[in-house]
Amino acid sequence: MPPIFQIQDEYVQRVLAGSRRLGEEYRVQGTQSTSLGFSEHLALATPFFLHFALGDGYKLWTRVAAAVCLPLVFTVILSTQARLGVLGFMLGGLLYVGFWAMQRWRASRHSLVGPAVLAAYPAFFVAFITASFFVGRIRRMVWGSGETQASDEARREQLRLGIPKVLTHPWGYGTARGADELGYAGPSGIVTIDNYFLLVALDWGILGFIVYYGMIVMAVWASGRELVAGRLRTREQAWLIPVTIALIEFFVIKTIFSQTHNHKLEFMMLGMVCALLYRIKFGVPGEELPPKGAQA
């Protein structure tokens, strides 16, 4: 790039330089500042692709396009070499299949598809968890191997240093001051915190931690009750399934990833949940879900 077009900023230079893991091939990062952020973004989008592919009332070409996108999304996530993306993708798939089978059973009492999937679901879930520990390739994708040991040790060390600081300052150190107070620097010399749970507790204290994550837990709990109760009547209300799963993914990913670039999506999803719950509670009319097998 010609010097006249270059931005002489350390952060911008690091973003443009990209990243590699221990000298391996380039980690794809797309338009995100890091490969981890790109991987998180794709993981949060996974339930929505599944909804277009398996949800009721969508045209055949929409279903096919969404189904084709899923393996492409997973391939790109693997190219980021980020375990959090693989975990989010697989978690989203497992949860969506479970909710889909539940809704299918309610809507089509005479069909065996829903009951069969639900009956096999516990065994499939246990088989996947077992494979993630004992099948080499799956274990490396989900839990990592030798090349990720440094990252795991860094997170453990941050927790060891950070928890006592949270307990001695339960009111927090102030916005954007937690990382400096922790004082943990990575190999590049930049002060960082990998666990967003720890970052929130250091910045905003125990009360802020409860309020922030309480919002997510309350949204998931309220929407989960509607999904279990089976009160989804319109195609719009059915969006409660993928958005709830995406919030669960976000909650899990924040245990190992603290970057906030995708947090605007989280707040959009929280607003979406509130709007859908309001429409369900007060019976706001919408496009009714078609009978099974019909296309809209």
Confidence at 240, pLDDT banded by 50, 70, 90: very high
**pTM for the model:** 0.83
Cα 277 to its chain centre, rounded Å, is 21
Given this model, what pLDDT does residue 227 score?
86
Given this model, what pLDDT does residue 293 score?
46
Given this model, what pLDDT does residue 230 score?
74
Mean predicted confidence (pLDDT) in 79-107 = 86
Instruction: Return d(Cα 107, Cα 54) in angstroms, integer.
Output: 14
**pLDDT tens digits for range 8-53:** 655 556 666 666 665 566 778 877 778 888 999 999 999 999 999 9
Confidence at 73, pLDDT banded by 50, 70, 90: very high
Mean predicted confidence (pLDDT) in 203-209 = 93
Check whether 209 has a pLDDT greater than 90. yes
Note whether 276 and 239 are within 8 A (CB): yes
Q: Count Cα atoms within 13 angstroms, Cβ side, for 103.
A: 27
Mean predicted confidence (pLDDT) in 253-281 = 91
Angle at the Cα of 56 from the Cα atoms of 290 and 264, rounded to 5 degrees? 130
| % of residues, the chain, pLDDT over 70 | 83
Catalogue the long-range contacts made by 77-82 (C-beta closer than 8 Å, 24 or more residues apart): 77/39, 77/42, 77/43, 78/141, 79/27, 79/28, 80/27, 80/28, 80/29, 80/35, 80/36, 80/38, 80/39, 80/42, 81/21, 81/24, 81/27, 81/35, 82/27, 82/35, 82/36, 82/38, 82/39, 82/40
Confidence at 119, pLDDT banded by 50, 70, 90: confident
The three-state (H, E, C) secondary structure of 155-192, written as one string: HHHHHHHHHHHHHHCCCCCCCCCHHHHHCCECCCCCEC
Instruction: Return d(Cα 295, Cα 31) in angstroms, integer.
Output: 35
Mean predicted confidence (pLDDT) in 212-237 = 88
For residue 288, give the amino acid letter: E
Given this model, what pLDDT does residue 273 score?
95
Mean predicted confidence (pLDDT) in 219-245 = 88
Instruction: Return d(Cα 251, Cα 90) in angstroms, integer.
Output: 15
Given this model, what pLDDT does residue 43 score?
94
Given this model, what pLDDT does residue 84 score?
87
Mean predicted confidence (pLDDT) in 192-216 = 92
Check whether 63 has a pLDDT greater than 80. yes
Q: Burial-class residue 83 by CB neighbours within 10 Å (0-12, 13-18, 19+).
A: buried
Given this model, what pLDDT does residue 92 score?
92
Given this model, what pLDDT does residue 260 score?
87
Say how many C-beta atoms besides its own lie within 10 A of residue 287's C-beta.
12
Mean predicted confidence (pLDDT) in 257-283 = 90
Per the model's pLDDT, the better-predicted residue between 182 and 110 turns out to be 182
Instruction: Return d(Cα 95, Cα 26) in angstroms, integer.
Output: 31
**pLDDT tens digits for range 134-163:** 777 777 776 666 556 667 788 888 888 889
For residue 15, give the amino acid letter: V
